[in-house]
């Protein structure tokens, strides 16, 4: 019912940058934490970063210092700015919405979309 469409991926050289975008309905955007995940071939989907409606952020260790998650409340859009990209960042990137459990883990509630492919290669 809630459509999640990621965009902004592409092919970049190591050290390059990309900015991913995901737009969602305003009711979901205002009520839930938004998050980015990624999945490389043969690997499980992994958490990358999240941002709450109030703007608090959380990052996986692999994303700290290089990636920045942000949100545009006027456009109901969440972004992932990726700098200093490495070959190991190559993956399909997905956005979703959800909340943090009592254990502190992020629980995604939306359906998974097609994602946007990020390829980092010389």
pLDDT truncated to tens, each residue of the chain (122 aa)? 678 889 999 999 999 999 999 999 888 888 999 999 999 999 999 999 999 999 999 999 999 999 999 999 999 999 999 999 999 999 999 999 999 999 988 999 999 989 999 999 99
Question: What is the model's pLDDT at position 1?
Answer: 65
The 8-class DSSP code of residue 32 comes to S
Question: What is the model's pLDDT at position 77?
Answer: 95
Question: What is the model's pLDDT at position 116?
Answer: 97
Residue 95 C-alpha from the chain's centroid: 5
The 8-class DSSP code of residue 111 comes to P
Q: Strands, E, within 74-115: which ranges?
A: 77-82, 91-100, 106-108
Q: H or E segment at 31?
A: helix 26-31
């Amino acid at each position: 019912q809630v459509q999640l469409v990621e965009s902004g991926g592409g092919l970049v050289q190591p050290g390059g940058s990309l900015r991913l975008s995901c737009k969602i309905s305003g009711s979901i955007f205002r009520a839930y934490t938004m998050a980015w995940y990624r999945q490389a071939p043969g690997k499980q989907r992994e958490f990358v970063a999240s941002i709450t409606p109030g703007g608090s952020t959380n990052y996986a260790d692999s994303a700290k210092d290089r990636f920045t998650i942000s949100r545009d409340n006027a456009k109901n859009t969440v972004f992932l700015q990726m700098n200093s990209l490495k070959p190991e960042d190559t993956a399909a990137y997905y956005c979703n919405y959800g909340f943090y459990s009592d254990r502190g883990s992020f629980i995604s509630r939306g359906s998974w979309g097609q994602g946007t492919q990020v390829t980092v290669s010389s």
